[in-house]
Amino acid sequence: MNIFNRYPVLIAEIGINFYDLAEHESISNMEAAKYMIDEAKDCGITVVEFQSYKAESIVSLTDEAATESQYESLKRTDGFGVEEYRELAEYCQYKGMKFLSTPLDFESVDYLDEFMDIYKISSFDITNIPFIKYIASKNKPILLSTGASTIREIKQAVSAIEEVSFVDIAIMHSVLSFPTSYEDANLLMIKDLAENFPDYEIGYSDHTKSDENMALLTTAYNYGAKILEKHFTIDKSLPGEDHEYSMDPDDVIKFQWNVHFLSKINGKKNKQPLICETSARKKMRRSIVASRNIKKGEKISEDDLTFKRPGTGISPSEINNVVGRTAKEDIKEDTLIDFYMLD
């Protein structure tokens, strides 16, 4: 299964952060969204992600005390619809980037299908089986986020997808805590997902604050997450819930350097001598050496031998092919033994 052609893939989740940027800079929401796409492109991002929904389709106001604040927060950032996201998708195509947006309601699933190649299912919907099946019916690859879920729930979601489609699925480790503390990142769960879902791609959706060297996200990649997703901002100090645990362009550049460095130092998997070790093998390894003067015709015993550098003679591992043989010529003490000297 290969959802993307290049790995690792770092997805910049612009999400709803552009609304805060627009308000702060007194520009339109569309200008802010495109500006963030530009910034992502400039630091090497190839995939950006938004969120598509209408507040009234997500939150029931029956229990106003429990849901009113959620509704108000969602309502502030649900201004874009089909026309706006189509424009952003076309802009991403113009910039040579892939456009994604996580649908959080059925209407969004439908209109995104026109201009989006890959669907993302939020952790919030991991048990929303009817919704999962509806997304799967579009027959496009799926990134399945798994925050706050059990293995059983993940398997149930995967089964729901596969009941209606044969699309590629990536299982994304995630933690539903905003921001996620480093102690709660639990990156070893990436390996657990790989063991439980060996036939699927594994990814990681990160909600921690970016550490100084992007070590956390780099570790996730090193543990096997090939699709990595993190909220993206151009200013972590902007008001809004997501900016403080978003990555900025400098963070992206650090991560890309880390991945390049890892690729360089990881090298080949199969253990074998390297070209750079050729000289050391010859200079530093030991050879079988005469420990005394051995006369022609003498039978060689183990006491007649020692082991010294360089390693250009007979290897000590071949000692059984030397002991018991007869010297064809005089061999001076401290001479590297060679088979032409022996009968």
Write out pLDDT tens, residues 233-242. 999 999 988 9
Look at residue 63 in the predicted model and tell me its pLDDT.
Answer: 66
Q: Does residue 142 sit in the same domain as residue 252? A: yes
Average pLDDT over residues 278-283: 95
- State the pLDDT at residue 2: 85
Mean pLDDT over 288-315 rounds to: 97
pLDDT for 6 equals: 84
SS3 342: strand
Q: Specify if 40 maps to a domain.
A: yes
Question: What confidence tier does 60 reach under pLDDT thresholds 50, 70, 90?
Answer: confident
Give the pairing of strands 287-290 and 305-308. Answer: antiparallel
Q: Does 97 share its domain with 173?
A: yes
Average pLDDT over residues 199-226: 97
Answer whether residue 113 shows pLDDT above 90: yes
The average confidence (pLDDT) of the chain is 96
Q: Does residue 52 fall inside a structural domain? A: yes
Q: What pTM does this model have?
A: 0.89
User: Do residues 233 and 296 both lie within one domain?
Assistant: no
Task: Give the ranges where the chain is alpha helix by DSSP (H).
Answer: 17-25, 29-42, 64-76, 82-94, 106-112, 129-136, 151-164, 188-196, 215-222, 249-266, 278-284
In a domain, 293, yes or no: yes
Q: Calculate mean pLDDT across residues 182-204.
A: 98
Q: What is the arithmetic mean of pLDDT over 13-28?
A: 97
Same domain, 92 and 148: yes
Same domain, 184 and 95: yes
pLDDT band of 62, cuts 50, 70, 90: confident
**Is the pLDDT assigned to residue 324 strictly greater than 70?**
yes
Q: Measured on CA atoms in the order 83, 85, 88, 89, is the torsion positive or negative? A: negative
Domain that holds residue 87: 9-266
Domain identity same for 333 and 217 = no
Domain boundary among 266, 285, 302: 266
Chosen domain end from 226, 242, 266: 266
Domain boundary among 213, 243, 266: 266
Is 1 part of any domain? Answer: no
Query: Do residue 231 and residue 256 come from a single domain?
Result: yes
Are residues 308 and 190 located together in one domain of the fold?
A: no
pLDDT in tens, 8-19: 999 999 999 999
- What does the alpha-carbon distance between residue 179 and residue 186 come to, in Å, rounded to a whole number? 14
Mean pLDDT of 39-50: 98
Residues 259 and 299 in one domain: no
Q: Is residue 2 part of a domain?
A: no
| Residue 159, pLDDT above cutoff 80 | yes
Q: Using the predicted structure, report yes or no on whether residue 297 has a pLDDT greater than 90.
A: yes
Q: Give percent of the chain with pLDDT exceeding 90.
A: 90
pLDDT of residue 73: 83
Find the mean pLDDT for residues 317-332: 97
CB contact set of 130 (below 8 Å; sequence gap of 6+) = none
Predicted confidence band of residue 67 (pLDDT cuts 50, 70, 90): low
The pLDDT of residue 140 is above 70: yes
Q: Are residue 124 and residue 241 in the same domain, yes or no?
A: yes
Cα distance between residue 53 and residue 63, in whole Å? 21
For residue 307, give the CATH number of its domain: 3.90.1210.10
pLDDT at site 261: 96
pLDDT at 69: 79
Q: Give the per-residue pLDDT at 65.
A: 60
| 194-211: average pLDDT | 98
Structural domain includes residue 3 = no
Instruction: Assess if residue 114 is contained within a domain.
Output: yes
Report the greatest alpha carbon distance in the chain: 105
Model confidence at 66: pLDDT above 90 = no
CATH code of 173's domain: 3.20.20.70
Q: How many domains does the chain have?
A: 2
Q: Model confidence at 59, in pLDDT bands (50, 70, 90)?
A: confident
Residue 221 lies in a domain: yes
Same domain? 185 vs 115: yes
> Is 295 in the same domain as 233?
no
